[in-house]
Amino acid sequence: MPHDKRPPYQRIADELRSSILTGELAPGAKLPSENSLKVRYGTTRTTAAKAVAVLKAEGLVVSSQGKSATVRPRPTVQLLTTGPNFRRRRAEGVSNFNAEVEAQGLKPDQRILKVETVPCPPEVADRLGVGEGDPVIARRRVFLLDGEPTQLVDGYYPVDLFQGTAVERIRRIPGGVSALIEDPEGPVRERIVQFVEDLEIRMPLPVETEALGIPQGVPLARVLRMARTRSGRVVEVLDSRVPCDRHVFRYVIDTP
Amino acid sequence: MPHDKRPPYQRIADELRSSILTGELAPGAKLPSENSLKVRYGTTRTTAAKAVAVLKAEGLVVSSQGKSATVRPRPTVQLLTTGPNFRRRRAEGVSNFNAEVEAQGLKPDQRILKVETVPCPPEVADRLGVGEGDPVIARRRVFLLDGEPTQLVDGYYPVDLFQGTAVERIRRIPGGVSALIEDPEGPVRERIVQFVEDLEIRMPLPVETEALGIPQGVPLARVLRMARTRSGRVVEVLDSRVPCDRHVFRYVIDTP
DNA sequence: GAGTGGTCTAGACCACGAC
DNA sequence: TCGTGGTCTAGACCACTCG
């Protein structure tokens, strides 16, 4: 007999997990039903269900009513952040997200949900150098991958620079806001020389789960990115929510 | 009456979550006991426990036997990655981790668990430019924060460069391996000009949970970092596991 | 010792999906 | 229609912590 120090539901979870990690149960494959687990391990369905719940919390398994639980597929899109990359894409007039996604053979899209002037939230105020609660322009967008929502991206812009510009209009800006910032005819007329990107990783809240269709056990990256111009002013703060089952991050850092 | 479309355990979870997010239940505070929830909501303890389990899976709550469930504290240490930073710390002879942690008023430490020559794992082989299974030197370390394990860091090094050097000895290398790589008297004698850092975020496996003391509902970042020298050769691959409840990431990207 | 969470049993009803 | 998972009840025993 195996030493049964661990409770039954963990033993069941352990064995299923091994099958998944060795590839015996491939991504997309069906797990044994809770009833068959109940029989196989001589326990109740409640306990079998708890074992499956463990694997869902680990992000290895997804399930929904009426269907068999299945092994979750692995992440797909790489989000690549490098200085030269940004510069090249600015020149080409494509957004970073679109370029990355297309390079990986998928169909990107984005939708502008809302553009509004709002009191500045604290994490943004810190970075943008305005007072908390001061008015800022917020552009709220959702990025799509093959038609499915895949990122929520809110852009924040100082009113003193962007009031009355295309940033305030609920319409795509050709080449993105970065292009407008660097446009020699635009409201800023300065080059962006630096991005600072902060990643905080946590489990999503139910609102985020719903908005992004995140399955159980999938972490969320909250990415706060500020763009600084040559004069040192922060002209944009992006606040993104990125589900970690569909993305990996790559940063390229050159050392002087 | 509230429309009870959502099941009772979710309603309980919702109310507790609100209390946590508004700060009414501060980090470290005790949650109501499962028995008191059972009474308050007129249900069974099983259901109350499930509500608490939801919050644990969301990483908002931690619990253990005999003690009240409590609100989880927030992350602390920032891991800052920038080119100039690396260069400065190389000059000062301190490691990045140590510098970051000390700057934030905590006591860093690291322990070398093992140094061994092993068959190269696939993700490392890709990056190091050696065949999968070819021998490589692996330095396995654990980083500590105030005495608690906080990161697992495995460094991989090509044997042709580092066999017979300090990299093979189970002892700290003054200034770190980077210093040895750039040492004009060392085995490589080239400057590191670039880091490429890949982050994959997922929930930890039980082995990782145990090794790092990760509470439920806390994601894990697996960071694969390669260091490239001026000649283009990758001379080091670091494979780290970083619990996301104790760290946030910051990358600074300069755009040419 | 009293109270806490961890885990289990043995049922039940329901919503949903596949056939 | 039948099998699936989603959820619940009403108990129970245990290990642990705290006062």
Task: Please indicate whether, in this complex, the C-beta atoms of B197 and A251 are within 8 angstroms of each other.
Answer: yes
Q: Does B73 touch chain A (CB under 8 A)?
A: no
Q: Does B193 touch chain A (CB under 8 A)?
A: yes
Contact A168, A112 (CB under 8 A): no
DSSP H or E run through B20: helix B8-22
Residue of A nearest to B90 (CA): A255
Residue of B nearest to A72 (CA): B202
Residue of A nearest to B229 (CA): A255
Integer Cα distance of B37 and A215 in angstroms: 27
Domain B8-71 architecture? Orthogonal Bundle (1.10)
pLDDT at residue B81 is higher than 50: yes
Task: Please indicate whether, in this complex, the C-beta atoms of B244 and A202 are within 8 angstroms of each other.
Answer: yes
pLDDT at B98: 87
Interfacial B residues in 18-37 facing A (CB < 8 Å): 21
Q: Does A79 touch chain B (CB under 8 A)?
A: no
pLDDT at A4: 59
Give me the phi and psi of B130, to 5 degrees please. -120, 165
Q: A169: which 2 tokens?
A: 């209009």
Beta strands in B1-87, from DSSP E residues, in sequence order? 61-62, 70-71, 77-81
Provide, in whole angstroms, the distance separating residue A45's CA from nucleotide D19's C1': 39
Q: Following DSSP, what letter does each residue of A155-184 receive, concatenated? A: EEEEHHHHTTSGGGSSS--TTHHHHHHH-T
Contact B20, B71 (CB under 8 A): yes
How many Å lie between the alpha carbon of A15 and the closest alpha carbon of chain B?
Answer: 12
pLDDT at A2: 44
Nearest to A201 among B194, B201, B251 (CB): B201
Nearest residue to A158 via CA among A202, A124, A201: A124
Integer Cα distance of A49 and B205 in angstroms: 19
3 state DSSP class of B178: helix
Integer Cα distance of B86 and B96 in angstroms: 7
Interfacial A residues in 105-144 facing B (CB < 8 Å): none
What's the whole-model pTM score? 0.91
The string over A59-84, giving b where at least 16 C-beta atoms fall within 10 Å of a residue's C-beta and e elsewhere, is bbbbbeeeeebbbbeebbbebbbbbe
DSSP H or E run through A250: strand A247-254
Looking at per-residue confidence, does A171 or B256 come out higher? Answer: A171
Task: Please indicate whether, in this complex, the C-beta atoms of A217 and B57 are within 8 angstroms of each other.
Answer: yes
Integer Cα distance of B242 and B207 in angstroms: 14
Q: Does B6 touch chain A (CB under 8 A)?
A: no
Give me the residue spans of the domains in chain A.
8-71, 77-251
CATH class of B77-251: alpha beta
The string over A16-33, giving b where at least 16 C-beta atoms fall within 10 Å of a residue's C-beta and e elsewhere, is bbebbeeeebeeeeebbe
- Helix A8-22 with A45-57: angle, nearest 10 deg: 50
Nearest residue to B242 via CA among B170, B157, B142, B172: B142
Q: Which nucleotides of D are covered by protein (CB under 7 A)?
A: 3-12, 15-18
Q: Does B253 touch chain A (CB under 8 A)?
A: yes
pLDDT at residue A219 is higher than 60: yes
Nearest to A202 among B59, B199, B252 (CB): B59
pLDDT at residue B93 is higher than 80: no
pLDDT at residue B18 is higher than 90: yes
Mean pLDDT of A65-82: 88
pLDDT at residue B201 is higher than 80: yes
pLDDT at B74: 79
Integer Cα distance of A219 and A69 in angstroms: 19
Average pLDDT, chain B: 91
Which residues fall within 8 angstroms of residue A36, CB to CB, at 6 or more apart? none
pLDDT at residue A18 is higher than 50: yes
User: What's the one-letter identity of residue A202?
Assistant: R
pLDDT at residue A1 is higher than 70: no
Contact A181, A190 (CB under 8 A): yes
